[in-house]
Structure 1
Amino acid sequence: MTRNKQTIEVVTVSQERRRRWSAEEKAALVRETYEPGMSVSLVARKHGVGASQLFNWRKLEREGALTAVTAGESVVPASELAAARAQIAQLQRMLGKKTMEAEILKEAVEFAREKKWIARSPLLDKDGQ
């Protein structure tokens, strides 16, 4: 007579706190999903992470969001970035206008000197500076 032994596994559900993953840990998990023979679901089960969360981290990595955090750079809102870019463009236009004005004035001084409309000043050298 043989006795059949049955193994029963008891799974208890406990309230776990939300885990915090560092940027390095996230990047390592994402890299692991790209290894041969690995899948997102397999890596997620192996490390106890939701597959959807891992897919989200992969998306963030493609966009460069994970590397910006690891580089220690501060993150600014998109509205501030857009405002800063607009201000930079405005300042570049103003600089271009001022540079053009300076070139025009230099040409005018040279032309006036050739016509002897402007007397040479002892304070200015030959280059007009």
Structure 2
Amino acid sequence: MSEIEIISDGGRRRRWSAVEKLRIVEETLFDGESLSAVARRNGVAPNLLYRWRKLMLEGGSIAVTGDDSVTSNKTVREMEARIRELERQLGRKTLENEILKEALEKSRSKKPTLLARSLKRDDLA
């Protein structure tokens, strides 16, 4: 009979620090070695290393640190332009509101005098 050895990984995923991720991704960028070879040497799955590299190239080291999806610069610029437009519209509406308030106050202050004048005309007739 032959012996069979079962190797288990302990059931836990390995956690990589941001510094480790950046170091490994930098190896793929500067050493000229294949991504798969760098992944094997560091004990990282190649698809995970592809993902880290993609995140870093799209969003810099912050994306790799948080392991989040990255919003492109174009999207950010579009959102900032939309915010500026909405702020401009809000300013215009605020100004319109102030003008209407002033007009309403002036019309309320004139209303009693107009009423008094019309009463005097009725008395004269």
Q: TM-score, normalised by structure 1?
A: 0.48
Which structure dedicates a bigger proportion of its chain to helix?
2
For normalisation by structure 2, the TM-score amounts to 0.49
